[in-house]
Amino acid sequence: MKVLGIETSCDECAAAVVEDGREILSNVVATQIPFHAEYNGVVPEIASRMHTEWISRVAQEALDKAVLKAEELDSVAATAHPGLLGSLLVGLNFAKAFAWARDIPFIAVDHMLAHLYAPRLEYADVPEKSPSVSATDAASATSVSYPFLGLLVSGGHTIICRADNFDDITVLGTTIDDAVGEAFDKVSKHYGFGYPGGAVIDKLAKSGNTGAFNFPMPSLHKGDHKYDVSYSGLKNAVINQIEKFRAGQIPEGGDKSEDIAASFQRTAVEILLRSLFRAAQDTGLTTIVAGGGVAANSYLRAALARRQDLRCIFPPLELCGDNGAMIAGLGYQYLVRGERSPLTVTASARVKSFKKRYP
Ligand code: KG4
Ligand code: ZN
pLDDT, tens digit, for every residue of 282-315?
Answer: 999 999 999 999 999 999 999 999 999 999 999 9
**How confident is residue 141, by pLDDT bands cut at 50, 70 and 90?**
low
pLDDT of residue 134 exceeding 50, the answer is no
Q: Is 155 in the pocket of ligand 1 (CB under 6 A)?
A: yes
pLDDT of residue 337 exceeding 80, the answer is yes
Residues 108, 78 contacting (CB under 8 angstroms): yes
Atom in ligand 1 nearest the alpha carbon of residue 292: 1
> Domain extents for the chain?
2-133+319-354, 148-315
Res 144: pLDDT? 83
Query: Which ligand approaches the C-alpha of residue 180 most closely?
Result: 1
Q: How far is the CA of 93 from the centre of ligand 2 (A)?
A: 19
Share of the chain above pLDDT 70, in %: 92
Q: How far is the CA of 296 from the centre of ligand 1 (A)?
A: 7
Among protein residues, the one with the nearest Cα to ligand 1's atom 23 is: 198
Chain mean pLDDT for the chain: 92
**How confident is residue 139, by pLDDT bands cut at 50, 70 and 90?**
very low
Among protein residues, the one with the nearest Cα to ligand 1's atom 13 is: 198
**How confident is residue 249, by pLDDT bands cut at 50, 70 and 90?**
confident
pLDDT of residue 84 exceeding 90, the answer is yes
Architecture of domain 2-133+319-354: 2-Layer Sandwich (3.30)
Atom in ligand 1 nearest the alpha carbon of residue 12: 3
Is the pTM for the entire model greater than 0.85?
yes
Among protein residues, the one with the nearest Cα to ligand 1's atom 6 is: 154
Mean pLDDT for the stretch of residues 334-354: 92
Atom in ligand 1 nearest the alpha carbon of residue 195: 14
**268-271: which pairs have CB atoms within 8 A and are 24 or more residues apart?**
268/180, 268/183, 268/184, 268/231, 268/234, 269/297, 269/299, 269/300, 269/303, 270/217, 271/180, 271/217, 271/218, 271/229, 271/230, 271/231, 271/234
Mean pLDDT for the stretch of residues 31-54: 94
Q: 82 preceded by cis ω (within 30°)? A: yes
Which residues on neighbouring strands pair with residue 272, listed in sequence order?
none
Q: Is 11 in the pocket of ligand 1 (CB under 6 A)?
A: no
CATH fold label, 148-315: Nucleotidyltransferase; domain 5 (3.30.420)
Query: Which ligand approaches the C-alpha of residue 111 most closely?
Result: 2
pLDDT of residue 67 exceeding 60, the answer is yes
Q: Is 202 in the pocket of ligand 1 (CB under 6 A)?
A: yes
Q: Is 82 in the pocket of ligand 1 (CB under 6 A)?
A: no
Mean pLDDT for the stretch of residues 231-246: 93
Res 131: pLDDT? 43
Mean pLDDT for the stretch of residues 180-203: 94
Distance of CA 91 to CAs 4, 8, 27, 111, Å? Answer: 12, 5, 15, 12
Asked if 2-133+319-354 and 148-315 have one fold, the answer is yes
Q: List phi, psi (to 5°) of 107.
A: -130, 125
Cα–Cα distance for residue pair 329/310, rounded to 1 Å? 26
